[in-house]
């Protein structure tokens, strides 16, 4: 099964939980971010001044821009340097698959931010909290980069936090060079690199700034301005910050009407600060692993009749694993995990990770190699199951509601197969909608290829609709 951080150090999940440590996975993408607004409420002593440090950093940027006489002078260059954030490796959040680096902010985006800061200062906006919101209207800046900015500013605090909790958990320290100094940190035994822990109380799947409720309304100004603003961004900040409004248009509107920025800041400051609920795990970032481990232990599959597994029969092996995933969803209650406590369908990525957990258990039991989202230069494939160099089968998991369902079958999988040098593939489609129109279109294409005797991926349709049971099996 996927390895969590506590397993690296032979600790229990409760050990890390009691210390407030985010107990994520090694090389599995969990979409958690450091939310700058949560720094002010963190209960960890090492972070008691973290929010002030974050604000002070950007106060200095605003001061430098305000006092710069001409673009490119010494103050301008210093401000640019303060907006250039290098990647901080070894932060164990896992939102970059295959490594533990964030997105950072290079010179190009730093330059954009500096120009935007200049525009904001020119219209009287000097509150550093605007940098917590800047991802809403700055191209190329999203939740991950806001998180990286926060991590960079409070990096030393996180190092001290890691050192304390690791010492309390009796985790062995290793000396690592950091610039001209030596620092003691836990070591990841899998790659012999340092680990820096992050407390759970500063994490969210999506920062507060990106999660606007319907009650957030743009303040009422004079009627003509109100009508103009509504045409561009709608009458709520939720509408304004949605993907339907181009960031460029949003920023232009804000700069022209700084009273809107003040309203945005005011409403943002009123929003409640609540860290992610790791116990309930509403986004399903954690629960899939334990659920997959438990259900596969109760429902093992025997592939011995297919031994030895070779390039000639590996497709049948993988197909049987996929059919077991289908069986677990349709007949053993695994469908319930696809929906959260509000009966809302979790995103497609959850179903993919759930398959990963199920398939990984069966692969390990049968000496197979399972790779998740290998990057072969043509994009991200969901899974590749192999044994040796020649025996490879690719698997892609999609919801029937995915608008790229047909494209995934006709174009993506063949491209992935070519990149991975895999001859065969399986397209796992979870029917999550009442309508089966998209599946009928897909099957029409499949049957047409079969009639013409063309090579095509195997398609398995899984009934993933909600059933009558109200229980939540975890």
Q: pLDDT tens for residues 370-380?
A: 665 544 333 34
Cα–Cα distance measured from residue 201 to residue 22, given in angstroms and rounded to the nearest whole number: 9
Q: What is the pLDDT of residue 349?
A: 87
Residue range(s) of every CATH 3.40.1350 domain in the chain: 287-463
Judge whether 457 and 427 are in contact, CB under 8 Å.
yes
Q: Classify residue 10 as left (phi > 0), alpha (psi -120 to 50) or beta.
A: left
**Average pLDDT of span 330-340:** 93
User: Any idea what the Cα angle at residue 74 is, between residues 71 and 78, rounded to 5°?
Assistant: 95
Give the model's confidence band at 29: pLDDT under 50 very low, under 70 low, under 90 confident, else very high: low
Give the model's confidence band at 249: pLDDT under 50 very low, under 70 low, under 90 confident, else very high: confident
Give the model's confidence band at 275: pLDDT under 50 very low, under 70 low, under 90 confident, else very high: very high
**Average pLDDT of span 116-143:** 94
Give the model's confidence band at 473: pLDDT under 50 very low, under 70 low, under 90 confident, else very high: very low
Least confident of 179-183, 271-275, 308-312, 388-392: 388-392
Give the model's confidence band at 469: pLDDT under 50 very low, under 70 low, under 90 confident, else very high: low
Q: Classify residue 5 as left (phi > 0), alpha (psi -120 to 50) or beta.
A: alpha
Residue 182: pLDDT over 70? yes
Cα–Cα distance measured from residue 369 to residue 402, given in angstroms and rounded to the nearest whole number: 28
- Residues 6 or more apart in contact with residue 298 via CB below 8 angstroms: none
Highest-confidence segment of 152-156, 217-221, 337-341 = 152-156
Least confident of 7-11, 80-84, 466-470: 466-470
Q: What is the pLDDT of residue 66?
A: 97
- The backbone torsions φ and ψ at residue 194, rounded to the nearest 5 degrees and listed phi first, read -70, 155
Highest-confidence segment of 42-51, 208-217, 226-235, 336-345 = 42-51
Residue 382: pLDDT over 80? no
For 422-432, what is each residue's pLDDT tens digit? Answer: 678 899 999 99
- Residues 6 or more apart in contact with residue 430 via CB below 8 angstroms: 329, 338, 351, 397, 398, 399, 400, 462, 464
Cα–Cα distance measured from residue 149 to residue 16, given in angstroms and rounded to the nearest whole number: 25
**pTM, whole model, 2 decimals?**
0.83
Residue 259: pLDDT over 50? yes
Q: What is the pLDDT of residue 309?
A: 77
Residue 368: pLDDT over 60? yes
Give the model's confidence band at 387: pLDDT under 50 very low, under 70 low, under 90 confident, else very high: low
Mean pLDDT of the chain: 85
Other CB atoms within a 10 A radius of the CB of residue 269 amount to 11
For the four alpha carbons of 133, 99, 91 and 26, in that order, the dihedral sign comes to positive
Q: Which tokens hold the place of 423? A: 């001859």
Q: What is the pLDDT of residue 225?
A: 67
Q: What is the pLDDT of residue 3?
A: 83
The CATH number of the structural domain formed by 287-463 is 3.40.1350
């Amino acid at each position: 099964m996927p390895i969590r951080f506590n397993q690296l150090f032979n600790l229990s999940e409760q050990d890390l939980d009691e210390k407030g440590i985010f107990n994520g996975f090694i090389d599995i993408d969990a979409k958690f971010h450091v939310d700058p607004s949560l720094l002010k409420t963190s209960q960890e002593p090492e972070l008691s001044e973290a929010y002030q440090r974050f604000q002070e950093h950007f106060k200095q940027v605003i001061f430098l821009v305000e006092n710069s006489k001409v673009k490119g002078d010494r103050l301008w260059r210093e401000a640019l340097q303060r907006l250039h954030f290098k990647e901080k490796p070894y932060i164990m959040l896992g939102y970059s698959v295959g490594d533990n680096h964030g997105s950072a902010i290079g010179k190009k985006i730093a330059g954009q931010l500096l120009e935007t800061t200049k525009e904001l200062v020119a219209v009287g906006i000097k509150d550093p909290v605007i940098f917590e919101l800047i991802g809403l209207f700055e191209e190329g800046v999203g939740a991950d980069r806001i998180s990286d900015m926060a991590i960079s500013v409070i990096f030393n605090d996180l190092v001290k936090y890691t050192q304390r909790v690791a010492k309390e958990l009796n985790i062995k320290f290793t000396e690592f060079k950091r610039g001209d100094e030596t620092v003691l940190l836990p070591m990841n035994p899998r790659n012999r690199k340092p680990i820096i822990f992050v407390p759970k109380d500063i994490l969210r799947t999506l920062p507060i700034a990106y999660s606007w409720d319907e009650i957030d309304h743009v303040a009422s100004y004079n009627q003509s301005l109100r009508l103009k603003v509504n045409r561009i961004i709608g009458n709520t900040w939720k509408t304004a910050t949605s993907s339907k409004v181009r960031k460029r248009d949003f920023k232009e509107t804000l700069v022209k009407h700084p009273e809107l920025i003040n309203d945005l800041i005011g409403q943002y400051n009123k929003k409640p600060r609540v860290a992610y609920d790791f116990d309930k795990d509403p986004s399903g970032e954690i629960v899939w692993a334990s659920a997959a481990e438990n259900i596969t232990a109760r429902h093992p599959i025997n592939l011995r009749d297919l031994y030895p597994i070779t390039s000639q029969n590996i497709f049948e092996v993988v197909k049987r694993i996929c059919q077991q995933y289908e069986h677990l969803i349709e007949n053993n209650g695994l469908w319930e995990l696809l929906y959260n406590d509000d009966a809302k369908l979790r995103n497609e990525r959850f179903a993919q990770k759930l398959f990963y957990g199920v398939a990984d258990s069966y692969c390990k039991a049968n000496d197979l190699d399972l790779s998740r989202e290998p990057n072969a230069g043509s994009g991200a494939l969901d899974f590749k199951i192999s044994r040796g160099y020649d025996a490879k089968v690719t698997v892609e998991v999609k919801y029937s509601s995915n608008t790229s369902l047909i494209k995934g079958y006709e174009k993506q999988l063949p491209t992935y197969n070519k990149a991975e040098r895999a001859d065969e593939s399986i397209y796992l489609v979870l029917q999550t909608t009442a309508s089966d129109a998209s599946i009928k279109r897909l099957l029409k294409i499949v049957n047409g290829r079969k009639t013409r005797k063309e090579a095509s991926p195997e398609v398995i349709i899984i009934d993933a609709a909600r059933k009558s049971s109200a229980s939540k099996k975890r």
